[in-house]
């Protein structure tokens, strides 16, 4: 049995984009399995006193982040386009992913990667249900059914519980990676270290 690394992300998180695009191949090379764990940064940021992304609150840091992300994507040969507005409301995308993952469906991981690509590679709005429906349709998923499953009270509670779990695990930003022994790694820059830790 391969070790499992939990990949925690918020769809609005900029550095989760390159992590999501890289993690499949990187995990395969490391001989590690990955479990996608979407959550919401909003409540975690709120607990730190922020009402939006720190990249919006701290101007110099935000300006740098966009440039750094652009450089990173160029190096990885990933398409990059800065989405407007930022941060986007990631609630619906997260609910769809969480519902699909809970149902054991085969499409959620590809859906997550496609949502990241749409937002940060093509500058599309992921708070627009039509963007998400179009992605679901590409993967042969009935969009109306997936959206309805996402919006049930049970599923809303599931995403809240997942966000609470992230906070309990010490997660304060995204992406974050947690090895089977609980070791926490934060940031796209720590993806390879997290996989190597889990593979030990």
- Which residue stretch of 4-12, 23-31, 130-138, 167-175 sits at the interface with a copy of itself (rule: CB under 8 A)? 167-175
Cα separation, 135 vs 146, in Å, equals 11
Note the Cα 109 to chain centre separation in Å: 10
- Minimum Å gap between C-beta 48 and a copy of itself is 5
| Contact pick of 3, 4, 193, 199 for a copy of itself (by CB under 8 A) | 193
Q: Could you identify the residue written with the tokens 């949502």?
A: 115
- Which residue stretch of 33-41, 93-101, 102-110, 188-196 sits at the interface with a copy of itself (rule: CB under 8 A)? 188-196
Is there binding between residue 78 and a copy of itself (CB under 8 A)? no
What is the torsional sign of CA 157, 97, 17, 181?
positive
Is there binding between residue 181 and a copy of itself (CB under 8 A)? no
Is there binding between residue 58 and a copy of itself (CB under 8 A)? yes
48 vs 137, beta carbon nearer a copy of itself = 48
| Contact pick of 29, 35, 46, 71 for a copy of itself (by CB under 8 A) | 71
- Minimum Å gap between C-beta 58 and a copy of itself is 5
- 78: which 2 tokens? 């990933």
Cα separation, 67 vs 6, in Å, equals 28
Torsion of CA 27, 37, 174, 63, to 10 degrees: 90
- Minimum Å gap between C-beta 16 and a copy of itself is 16
| Contact pick of 43, 63, 82, 142 for a copy of itself (by CB under 8 A) | 63
Is there binding between residue 46 and a copy of itself (CB under 8 A)? no
Nearest one of 89, 96, 54, 32 to 22, comparing CA atoms: 32
- Residue 75 is classified by DSSP as H
Is there binding between residue 148 and a copy of itself (CB under 8 A)? no
Entry field: residues in the chain:
200
| Contact pick of 43, 123, 170, 180 for a copy of itself (by CB under 8 A) | 170
Is there binding between residue 180 and a copy of itself (CB under 8 A)? no
Nearest one of 106, 180, 116, 174 to 146, comparing CA atoms: 106
Secondary structure tally for the chain: helices H, strands E:
10, 4
Binding site for a copy of itself (CB under 8 A): 48, 58, 60-61, 63-64, 67-68, 71, 170-173, 184-187, 189-190, 193
């Amino acid at each position: 049995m391969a070790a499992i690394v939990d990949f925690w992300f918020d769809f609005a998180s900029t550095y989760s984009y390159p992590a999501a695009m890289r993690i499949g191949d990187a995990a395969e090379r490391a001989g590690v399995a990955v479990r996608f764990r979407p959550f919401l940064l909003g409540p975690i940021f709120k607990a730190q006193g922020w009402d939006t992304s720190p990249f919006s609150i701290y101007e110099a840091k935000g300006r740098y982040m966009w440039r750094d992300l652009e450089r990173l994507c160029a190096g990885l040969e990933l398409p990059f386009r800065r989405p407007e507005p930022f941060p986007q409301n990631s609630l619906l995308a997260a609910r769809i992913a969480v519902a699909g993952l809970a149902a054991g469906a085969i499409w959620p991981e590809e859906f997550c990667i496609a949502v990241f690509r749409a937002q940060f590679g093509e500058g599309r709005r992921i708070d627009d249900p039509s963007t998400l429906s179009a992605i679901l349709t590409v993967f042969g998923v009935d969009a109306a059914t997936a959206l309805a499953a996402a919006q049930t009270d049970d599923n809303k509670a599931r995403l809240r519980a997942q966000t609470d779990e992230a906070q309990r695990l010490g997660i304060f930003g995204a992406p974050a990676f947690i090895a089977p022994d609980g070791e926490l790694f934060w940031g796209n820059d720590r993806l390879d270290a997290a996989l190597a830790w889990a593979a030990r």
